[in-house]
């Protein structure tokens, strides 16, 4: 497909979004736009008590993501390719998973005000992995605020992501199953994935690679 100026990478916690964003920026001569997860003061408490802290956590993420995207466009960073480790629209995945009815109504009012002001990516890459693989990767990176993540929550999140992207048609979409590959430690896996990205023809495509030997 024509060169993508703005690529967003998505997928559940631990799937490797930030790592791939940084690698693709190097490969494609672009720059990264990385979500500032650790800047959210509610995250450590959220995983210990999701119901109590869901709304504060969600609203903080929504507003900080919007501000980050707004700043990016004001600075005209699109003179170069931009690789983001999140899709602004995915914020609603977490909202519908974690908020109660009253919170969701208020959230939607704010979301609709902001969403129309954010340009859509030229390409979205959705990284998939099983819950078991995600838990392994989360344990390996050993972040303090992720140690309270429960397997049950992660399973619900994986299902929510799969449902969202099953119906997604806002932009070209490349779905990548990462179960058998390691694009961080295996250069051949990364090379194959970059080739797949460059060969995108639009619409939705699925890439189910085997590990490079």
Active site residues: 85
Does residue 13 contact residue 145 with C-beta atoms inside 8 Å? no
Distance CA 7, CA 111 (A): 21
Q: What are phi and psi of 39, to 5 degrees?
A: -80, -15
Distance CA 176, CA 182 (A): 12
Distance CA 136, CA 141 (A): 9
Distance CA 206, CA 197 (A): 11
Do the strands 173-177 and 204-207 form a parallel or antiparallel pair, or are they unpaired?
parallel
Encode 74-138 in three state secondary structure: HCCHHHCCEEECCCHHHHHHHHHHHCCHHHHHHHHHHHHHHHCCCCCCCEEEEEECCHHHHHHHH
Distance CA 177, CA 42 (A): 31
Q: What are phi and psi of 164, to 5 degrees?
A: -60, -50
């Amino acid at each position: 497909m024509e060169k993508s100026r703005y690529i967003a990478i998505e997928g559940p916690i631990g799937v490797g979004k930030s790592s791939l964003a940084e690698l693709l920026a190097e490969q494609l001569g672009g720059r990264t736009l990385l979500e500032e997860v650790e800047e959210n003061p509610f995250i450590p408490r959220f995983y210990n008590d999701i119901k109590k802290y869901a709304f504060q956590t969600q609203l903080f993420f929504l507003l900080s993501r919007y501000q980050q995207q707004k700043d990016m466009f004001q600075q005209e960073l699109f003179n170069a390719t931009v690789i983001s480790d999140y899709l602004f629209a995915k914020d609603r995945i977490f909202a519908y998973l974690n908020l109660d009815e009253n919170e969701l109504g208020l959230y939607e009012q704010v979301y609709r005000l902001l969403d129309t002001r954010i340009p859509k990516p030229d390409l979205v890459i959705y990284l998939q992995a099983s819950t078991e693989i995600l838990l392994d990767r989360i344990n390996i990176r050993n972040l303090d605020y992720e140690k309270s993540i429960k397997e049950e929550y992660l399973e619900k999140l994986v299902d929510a992501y799969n449902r969202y992207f099953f119906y997604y048609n806002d932009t070209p979409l490349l779905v990548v199953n990462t179960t058998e590959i390691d694009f961080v430690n295996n250069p051949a896996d990364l090379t194959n994935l970059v080739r797949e990205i460059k060969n995108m023809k639009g619409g939705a495509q699925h890439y189910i690679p085997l590990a490079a030997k």
